[in-house]
Structure 1
Amino acid sequence: MALYFLDYDLRKQRDYQPLYDELARFKAVRMLESSWCFNRVNTSAAGLRDHFKQFIHADDGLLVAEVTDWATYKVLKSPSALATA
């Protein structure tokens, strides 16, 4: 199982709900205002990027990265929370 970070920049319309709903379906943990993490198997960062693009607008930004090492400071919730989620 791989850990992925997803960061977004919703620019003009700022319609967050479709993205939030899909992140909830993925059981994602919100680390910072626009940063989430979740576990996934049998996928890639590019595949996840393509999946999540349907939940944002064409002018928005999206970053998906597979993470092997991480450290946090003053986050809303740590990626280690996924072990108990």
Structure 2
Amino acid sequence: MKSYLIGYDLNKTGQDYESLIEQIKKLGSWWHCLDSTWIIKSDLTAVQIRDNLNSYIDKNDNLLVAKLSGEAAWSGFNNDCSNWLKNNL
């Protein structure tokens, strides 16, 4: 499985974050320790993930899906967040 970073901005007040979040969680094992940033483990491609999530955002929103290389550094996260990163990147 590959690791992907997902970031989004829903740019209209009152948008349905919950539907988007639930769909992200269905994509595989996930990490969510930053507001609008997720990391998931998936066998899908970045394009497939983007296409899957596009129906949960509006045309005025922003969505980024990027495959991660495996090298990472971080600071300030609790043990659960840090351990997920150590075990999954």
TM-score (norm 1): 0.80
Which has more radius of gyration? Answer: 2
Post-superposition offset of 1:53: 0.8
CA positional deviation for 1:31: 2.6
Gaps of 5+ in 1: none
Q: CA deviation at 1:73?
A: 1.9
Structure 2: segments with no counterpart, 5+ residues: none
For residues 39 and 6 of structure 1, what CA distance do their matches in structure 2 show? 11
Match of 2:47 in 1: 46
1:81 aligned residue (72, 80, 84): 84
Residue correspondences, number: 82
RMSD: 2.1
* 4+ residue segments displaced more than 3 Å: none
Give me the whole-angstrom Cα distance separating, in 2, the residues matched to 1:29 and 1:66. 14
